[in-house]
Chain A
């Protein structure tokens, strides 16, 4: 009886502290822009477009693994990763011309790498991610969406 109660308590704690558990695995979470980086993007619509393309392709890559973040436009993971890689490469190239955007390009690279880790976590599971990975992907996608709103919308 005591063992059952302990298991129940541990299970409940694991669910309740899911966000905290994710903090223990920071290399799997979306990296948001700093306030200064956001301000830079608000002033330069060309770079903002590149960054938004990156967000759109991150969503396209990962939404296929979960049920409530839309449906992908690229047919498979390899195609989505290729397109994402091209956008990040454009960001890096543009940042060489406009060095103040180097931290934004670095942010794009970090998020590409993290999304690649998450997508890799689904491999070998017939496209159906383990519960833990599905939760990580959902959290990553929620933050991607919030970042898109911060970059493109007027502050409410």
Chain B
């Protein structure tokens, strides 16, 4: 394999970049579109992109997929709180952000991760891999080392969204009020 692919909502990217020290917890596949591989829907970056993009485009607050990702991100905040990466006060505020932030911030993007020896060592065959899919878990994908590139991050038309694109990694003090202002 030469690459891994993972589809993420923009909010996950913001949380990882600004609150979790640029460390990204990602489920990934060896192909963007694992056609004819037994990857279930939740480990198929192409289908996840579709499942997120459509309600994002429709601004559909009642979308099941949007709700599922909100719950997933809330569990992620809980996990980081338990690891003491963030304080309980920040965790509480972030969980509210995950619960309520504007659907615009669930915009899907794709991480393309070069399968360097370092990445291959840390990519754990997990989840549906037990039944033959190409699913991997990378718990500490490091943005500070440029371990991935972001594809399709090309939405313009929302000032807050754009401001959150390029704050310095770890700038939680600026990022949190922006996110809270959109709840």
Contact = CB atoms under 8 A, between A and B. Distances in A.
A70 to B, nearest CB: 5
A63 to B, nearest CB: 7
B72 interface: yes
A74 B79 contact: yes
Nearest to B96: A49
Given A53-B78, A71-B27, A126-B130, A145 B71 contact: yes
A145 B69 CA distance: 10
A73 B67 contact: no
Contact of B127 (A64, A74, A153, A156): A64
Contacts of A152: 99-100
B75 A71 contact: no
Interface string A49-88: 1001101110110011011111111110000000100010
B74 A52 contact: yes
A68 B41 contact: yes
B168 interface: no
A83 B78 contact: yes
Given A49-B92, A52-B74, A152-B100, A127 B130 contact: yes
Nearest to B63: A149
A153 B61 contact: yes
A128 interface: yes
Contact of A59 (B25, B68, B79, B96): B68
Nearest to B40: A67
Given A52-B95, A145-B71, A152-B99, A71 B76 contact: no
13 contacts: A53-B74, A56-B74, A64-B127, A67-B42, A71-B42, A71-B127, A74-B79, A83-B75, A83-B82, A126-B130, A145-B67, A149-B62, A152-B99
